Structure 1
Amino acid sequence: MHEGLDVGLVEVQHLEQGAVDERGPISGRLVPRPEQAGVTPGRGVRRPSPQAADSRMAGSGQGGCRRVQEQSAGHPLHRFGQGRLPVGSHEVRQTSRHRRLGGDRVHRPMVRSLFRHRRMRQAREVGRVRLSPPPAPGVARHRRLGALVAARECDLLCIGGGLGGLAAALRAADAGLEALIVEKSPLIGGVAAYSGGVVWVGNNHLQRQAGLEDSAEDTTRYLRWVARDAGTFDEDLLATFVRRAPEAVEYFGGLGVRFQNTGLGDQYHPDAPGSVPGGRILEVTVDGEALGPWRDRCRSSPHFRLLGLTHDEVRRAGGDLVAGEVLAELHRQRRKRDFWTWGPGLSAAFAAAALVQRGVPILLEARCIELVRSGDRVSGAVVEVRDERQEIRARRGVLVATGSYGSAPFAAELEGLPEIFEASPPVLDGDALALVEPTGAARARAGQAFTIFGYESPTERHPGTDLPLHRELSRALGLPHAIVVNRTGRRFGDESFYGFLLRAVKERDASGQFPNYPCYLIGDNRYRTRYRLGDGEEWPANLAQASNLTDLAGALGVDAGGLIDQVTTFNDGADEGNDLAFGRGTLPYSRLRAGDPNQSPNPNLGSLTEPPFWGLPLKLLGTGIYSTGLLINTDAQVLTEDRRPIDGLYATGNAAAYVEQPAYVGGLANARAITYGYLAATHAAASNRSRGLPTPLAQGAEDPE
């Protein structure tokens, strides 16, 4: 709603599941029951003006309620000088007709009538398209305006409906708090839903139950070794994560989230100090029926074709890239019974536990545009639903769980990369950095962005959008009969472990250029007839193909002489299982997850001799994990530059900087989202309710004007 436009009293009607009106099924955003929102069904709710809200807060002895506003289009990136992060205009949008009427104060009745007419017209237009599933019991709706009523108060407001926000809301609800989630997209699950869905937690309770040895000391040693070249650690936060992550996993397991062991060990670095052969990598499954009315609102992943199978089953079968008919048949059976695994299963399991089992309300397609403060405390947020702005007060605090900034235009420059195409859901706009700017929150840069290789699909789009989908190829690069080369036609790393290639791609030469980017996947006919590129199309339409390497090089813009020499050198040892240049196929992870078990003697090596030859330009894809985030303490409180906690402000997941472990570990991002969401809600539950908080309205009361 535009600020300053008084639409008067609006009647609220309580609608049951499957309700319809004259325009068909109710569409729009799902919200909590009216009784949870502080109103009773059928009661009128008067929406106060900002001035009235401020005067009410001042009258309650709280020192006034000051909105944290950013009047310009964005804010400067802290210390990096990379321009501004757009948040969206906060000015009242006045139409020319509105101005001709003299504004909202001079001709308020006429403006109100005009505004109501436009809102009803928008509602009729939206009503023709199903934007949401059949409403869950307890959906409240403005009868006259066709817009939904948001919760006006809660204890913990979780900004972001991904894994971290769901985990925090679940913990808060179990602790007796009123939690509310706001999610700007129409889907639940966030980045975790696109991931492989594993959760890396050392010394966890499932290890102990299985008799597997591990300890906090070994977990810490392993994490330190992996990040030995990535920068400094926050030792307190590292110790807290190692100690509290197992606690969080066991706690959520007791609330119905089904964690299980994948059987995978520390696959990237099995010989590192503190490594263990198995038990740290967990996964989660959930039955679709447990999601109730939220099933079609839970985000699935376009990146994995074996959804419905567990990592343990795929591992036992020899890997997903060469899965045979046994896996295919099991996959068909699982899909019939609506069995959710991998990233979609992880996020959906938390959604089932929070939204269905405990009735936590969530507001979809609701963008948080600013935080609200009472004195020095963050006490709520302003949320925009369609064109309507509503203030939500949070008695215990606000959790920022909006993810990182891979879809923002400044991402590649900030990370020092030639380009980035985000493979995660297209919702990572840098909201966390933008929202907290006026609060004085500190940002920290730790490690580097975790990127992978892939390609742009010429025909596929992100589900529910018109945005092109980029498919990852990281494991497909390590299969036999293919290599990755730069513009000179030369290899520059071990293709069977994407980390080695990525390190080389990020290197600059003396002139500041990237000598290994662009780069290309080159293969022969045996690769194409035996393997898939990944989980997308069988073979993309933009694939270059030729009967010889010279013509292929010309089609790709690669040096022909360099490519021919490189293929000849590679072929000399490939069929014997030797890669003298980069040792391809020597890592256990590479042989298991990126190789062909039927290829001997090395599952990652095979010569390129059989035409036609083909080539595909590779792209750098973001995964939602980036170098810069909010600085937090051991309670997940956001800190200022002088490391003072900002009262009432928390962060989790990729919105929080990786200062405790600035190197990539598969499953660590999901573990952080769960752990810091758990810690934030735990701290909020223990906080003093009366300290600097606005006085909550009695249930069913009307706001005074």
Structure 2
Amino acid sequence: MNEKELASPSRRQLLKGGAAMAVAGLGSTVALSANAACVSIEEAKFDEVVDVIVVGSGFAGMSAALQAKEAGASVMVIDKMPVFGGNSTINGGAMAVAGSPLQKKEGIEDSVDVMVADMLESGRGMNDVEMLKLVCNGTAESCEWLIDHGVEWKPFVQHFGGHSIPRVLQTVQSSGAGIIRPLIKAAKKSGIEMRNQAKLEGFIKDESGRVIGLDVRQGYYFPKDRTGKMVKIGARKGVIMATGGFGNDIEYRQMQQPEYTSELDSTNHAGATSEALKQMMLLGANPIHLDQIQLGPWASPDEKGFGTASQFNTIATYPSGIVVDVRTGERFFNELADRKARADAIMTRRDEQGKPVYPIGFTNAEGAKDAQTLAWGLKYNVIKKADNLDELAKIYNMPAEALKAQVARWNEAVTKGEDGEFGRPMQKAMLLDKGPWYGVRMWPKVHYCMGGVKVNTASEVLHLVSNKPIPGLYAAGEATGGIHGASRLGACAVAEGVVTGRNAGRHCSQSQPVKLNLA
């Protein structure tokens, strides 16, 4: 090693050194952290006791809670925010399903193996293959389970970027609320205790190291740390962590990806922070892929958060339009590539000073007919309307002749059924032969954390050192890591959340209970 390397150790070297010191400090046995109160079963006293505590109320949390309840367990759901649902409520409500009845109705041939292959390709081969297969195998049955609980899908299949074939179903509301609301309604009807403004402060474990409950701050007002009252809630069978990602925790995400500063907006709700992940890590949970943070390539710099452009671009621009560089009027990537490929391509559009040069995504009235946020986007001037391509070019200061030549080349590709420029899948490509036109400026936003804690196929959280389950601790959804590898395909968050949530609920409810005492 040379002097420069000695003076400036790499990130990999630092991580290895830190891990080595941590292991050395553990000695021959696995030490459990100081964040969890360790008490004997006989001495443990709780204010309340249930079979299963679910932390988080998104797709994974509500699916876990309902599945555990359907298996006969008593269940409590806690969420630190004043409103249930988290990121799932503002999600686009799209679920990738392999072998759905709607696919068969449209004559689309699909299989679990094809979906697995698509997700492996998008994940750059970094995926946890066993968990990936578990998710894909469960999509068709979980889709029907959601229908049984009141979820309604649009009557057609969509083709999202990175999927080799159309397999995406979407709620009639074009929102994750179309899933969360029916699940919350079903949960309350079934007797599940739903408790908001209840923040996890720490785990309680017995002398054997099993998680038997939580210290919870009730009456908590996010983000005021000292608000509320501390209570102890026991879990006879286990705790399921469905706490999502940390996309809006700017300090922590910047530790993983230094370039993801506060200047880069996020689609996440304010409560998408890292404290629950850190609590699991203090218990010894193995964190993987934390630096794999996805940017949503369909967002616009002209609005905050998820906004109206995200749904418009997902439903209209990407499958039925094209994206061009304003300086040339020409395409520069495959609009149906996976999210990482698209976001990376868009982020290259910069001027000599490194400042963004926002690309324009556009389609015509036919392409935008199913975009439910079009009217709102127009109202708030995020989406702009033009009667012809010359007007569209003028609005966005693009070279009109080059733009028209690009549209002509695209139409030739649609007629031939082959995109010779960028290899885009053409199953649902359409001619852009007449206006009016609808355009939107585009720039990625922090959207999803592929990393989290490692779990096995029983959704048990695995220990960093022993690689064995931490007794009584389960996790599901975005709180876990490894399923998506380097990049999540669109519509696979709902698939992952529902399938792994149900899996966690099923296994946790079947675990051997411990006897706990009330205070």
Would you call these one fold, judging by a TM-score over 0.5? yes
Match of 1:657 among 477, 481, 491: 481
* Greater mean alpha carbon deviation, residues 371-380 or residues 469-478: 469-478
CA distance in 1, matches of 2:318, 2:484: 31
Per the alignment, residue 362 of structure 1 pairs with 194
Per the alignment, residue 286 of structure 2 pairs with 442
1:474 aligns with 2:334: no
Match of 1:188 among 80, 84, 87: 84
CA distance in 1, matches of 2:103, 2:406: 46
Per the alignment, residue 124 of structure 1 pairs with none
Give the conservation status (yes or no) of the 8 Å contact 2:119–2:484: no
Amino acid at match of 2:157: L
CA distance in 1, matches of 2:335, 2:133: 34
Match of 2:431 among 603, 607, 614: 603
Task: Please give the TM-score of this superposition, normalised by the length of structure 1.
Answer: 0.54
1:404 aligns with 2:245: yes
| Local SS of the residue matching 1:502 | helix
Give the conservation status (yes or no) of the 8 Å contact 1:259–1:282: no
1:538 aligns with 2:385: no
Amino acid at match of 1:696: N
Aligned-pair CA distance for 1:166 = 1.1
How do 1:14-33 and structure 2 match up within 5 A? none
Per the alignment, residue 452 of structure 1 pairs with 297
Per the alignment, residue 321 of structure 1 pairs with none
CA distance in 2, matches of 1:424, 1:665: 17
| Local SS of the residue matching 1:422 | coil
Aligned-pair CA distance for 1:250 = 5.2
Per the alignment, residue 521 of structure 1 pairs with 360
CA separation of 1:176/1:577 partners in 2, compared to 1, >3 Å: closer, same or farther?
closer
Per the alignment, residue 159 of structure 1 pairs with 55
Amino acid at match of 1:373: K
How do 1:177-576 and structure 2 match up within 5 A? 177-203=73-99, 218-228=111-121, 230-246=124-140, 248-249=142-143, 256-258=149-151, 262-264=155-157, 268=161, 272=164, 281-282=168-169, 307=173, 342-356=175-189, 358-375=190-207, 376-384=209-217, 385-386=219-220, 387-388=227-228, 389-410=230-251, 411=253, 414-415=256-257, 420-445=264-289, 449-456=294-301, 469=307, 471-472=309-310, 473-475=312-314, 476-478=316-318, 483-485=323-325, 491-495=331-335, 499=339, 501-506=342-347, 517-521=356-360, 534=374, 536-541=376-381, 563=399, 566-567=402-403, 569-570=405-406, 573=409
Superposed CA offset, 1:564-588 (max 9, x none) = 6743652563565679773598522
Amino acid at match of 1:452: P
CA separation of 1:362/1:226 partners in 2, compared to 1, >3 Å: closer, same or farther?
closer
Aligned-pair CA distance for 1:632 = 0.8
CA separation of 1:516/1:493 partners in 2, compared to 1, >3 Å: closer, same or farther?
farther
Per the alignment, residue 427 of structure 2 pairs with 588
Give the conservation status (yes or no) of the 8 Å contact 1:404–1:654: yes
| Local SS of the residue matching 2:298 | strand
| Local SS of the residue matching 1:646 | strand
CA distance in 2, matches of 1:573, 1:247: 42
Root-mean-square deviation over aligned CA pairs: 4.8
Per the alignment, residue 689 of structure 1 pairs with 513
CA separation of 1:366/1:567 partners in 2, compared to 1, >3 Å: closer, same or farther?
same
Unaligned runs of 5+ residues in structure 1 are 1-52, 66-149, 285-305, 308-340, 463-467, 592-601, 698-702
Give the conservation status (yes or no) of the 8 Å contact 1:445–1:628: yes
Aligned-pair CA distance for 1:453 = 2.4
1:633 aligns with 2:467: no
CA distance in 1, matches of 2:188, 2:403: 55
Per the alignment, residue 112 of structure 1 pairs with none
Amino acid at match of 2:299: G
CA distance in 2, matches of 1:678, 1:425: 24
CA separation of 1:543/1:207 partners in 2, compared to 1, >3 Å: closer, same or farther?
closer
Amino acid at match of 2:213: G
CA separation of 1:235/1:474 partners in 2, compared to 1, >3 Å: closer, same or farther?
same
Aligned-pair CA distance for 1:534 = 3.1
Superposed CA offset, 1:180-205 (max 9, x none) = 1111222222323223323333356x
Superposed CA offset, 1:639-690 (max 9, x none) = 1224211111111111111436654344321122122221212222221213
Give the conservation status (yes or no) of the 8 Å contact 2:347–2:443: no
Give the conservation status (yes or no) of the 8 Å contact 1:477–1:496: no
**If you compute each CA radius of gyration, which structure gives the higher value, 1 or 2?**
1
| Local SS of the residue matching 1:199 | strand
Amino acid at match of 1:362: M
CA separation of 1:521/1:629 partners in 2, compared to 1, >3 Å: closer, same or farther?
same
CA separation of 1:568/1:409 partners in 2, compared to 1, >3 Å: closer, same or farther?
same
Amino acid at match of 1:359: G
| Local SS of the residue matching 2:237 | strand
| Local SS of the residue matching 1:368 | strand
Give the conservation status (yes or no) of the 8 Å contact 1:402–1:655: yes
Give the conservation status (yes or no) of the 8 Å contact 1:478–1:604: no
| Local SS of the residue matching 2:374 | coil
Identity level (%)? 19
CA distance in 2, matches of 1:262, 1:553: 35
Amino acid at match of 2:131: L
Aligned-pair CA distance for 1:443 = 1.3
Give the conservation status (yes or no) of the 8 Å contact 1:452–1:498: no
CA distance in 2, matches of 1:677, 1:482: 36
Superposed CA offset, 1:103-147 (max 9, x none) = xxxxxxxxxxxxxxxxxxxxxxxxxxxxxxxxxxxxxxxxxxxxx
Amino acid at match of 2:133: A
Give the conservation status (yes or no) of the 8 Å contact 1:507–1:515: no
Superposed CA offset, 1:605-626 (max 9, x none) = 669xx9xx99864331344x22
CA distance in 2, matches of 1:667, 1:258: 16
| Local SS of the residue matching 1:538 | helix
Per the alignment, residue 86 of structure 1 pairs with none
Unaligned runs of 5+ residues in structure 2 are 1-35, 221-226
Give the conservation status (yes or no) of the 8 Å contact 1:154–1:179: yes
CA distance in 1, matches of 2:81, 2:72: 27
| Local SS of the residue matching 1:399 | strand
CA distance in 2, matches of 1:665, 1:485: 24
CA distance in 1, matches of 2:354, 2:433: 25
1:170 aligns with 2:66: yes
CA separation of 1:265/1:553 partners in 2, compared to 1, >3 Å: closer, same or farther?
closer
Per the alignment, residue 646 of structure 1 pairs with 470
Amino acid at match of 1:573: R
Give the conservation status (yes or no) of the 8 Å contact 1:183–1:366: yes
Superposed CA offset, 1:261-292 (max 9, x none) = 8442766567x5xx6x7xx64566xxxxxxxx
Superposed CA offset, 1:494-531 (max 9, x none) = 4576845324135599x9x997944232779x889x98
Superposed CA offset, 1:478-499 (max 9, x none) = 5989753266776422457684
CA distance in 2, matches of 1:614, 1:239: 39
CA separation of 1:518/1:380 partners in 2, compared to 1, >3 Å: closer, same or farther?
farther
